[in-house]
Amino acid sequence: SQQGEEDPQALSIQEGENATMNCSYKTSINNLQWYRQNSGRGLVHLILIRSNEREKHSGRLRVTLDTSKKSSSLLITASRAADTASYFCATDAARETGTASKLTFGTGTRLQVTL
């Protein structure tokens, strides 16, 4: 079952602008991850933030996590046309050491970056 809700569902911005996507989830997590999916392709991992972290950066990406509010945000700065894709948050629930992860994906945000 889907756990995360993302907003907005769709976002259209111009190249050079910043894009912010939000994710909310319902249960305790081990970590939260963000993935990108280009049309007709598989998902590509962008960034992972652990439950004991509050902010993380990777290039033009900035992720925040607020476990008290069960929410996360993804900021893409200085967007480019190539950033056009769907973005999904995914939560990895707490589990035992040595076991495989079990991701539950949010509903996704479709980002359109125009020239």
Partner 1 sequence: DTEVTQTPKHLVMGMTNKKSLKCEQHMGHRAMYWYKQKAKKPPELMFVYSYEKLSINESVPSRFSPECPNSSLLNLHLHALQPEDSALYLCASSQVWGNSNQPQHFGDGTRLSIL
Contact 79, 30 (CB under 8 A): no
Contact between 104 and partner 1 by CB under 8 A: the answer reads yes
CA–CA dist 5, 97 (Å, integer): 27
Query: What Cα–Cα distance (Å) separates residue 103 from each residue in 16, 30, 48, 62, 113?
Result: 32, 10, 12, 21, 28
In the block, tokens 């480019």 appear at 80
Contact between 69 and partner 1 by CB under 8 A: the answer reads no
* Region binding partner 1 by CB under 8 A among candidate stretches 20-28, 38-46, 58-66, 73-81: 38-46
CB closer to partner 1 out of 100 and 115? 100
Contact between 82 and partner 1 by CB under 8 A: the answer reads no
In the complex, which residues of this chain contact partner 1 (CB under 8 A)? 2, 30-31, 33, 35, 40-45, 48, 50, 88, 92, 95, 97-108, 110
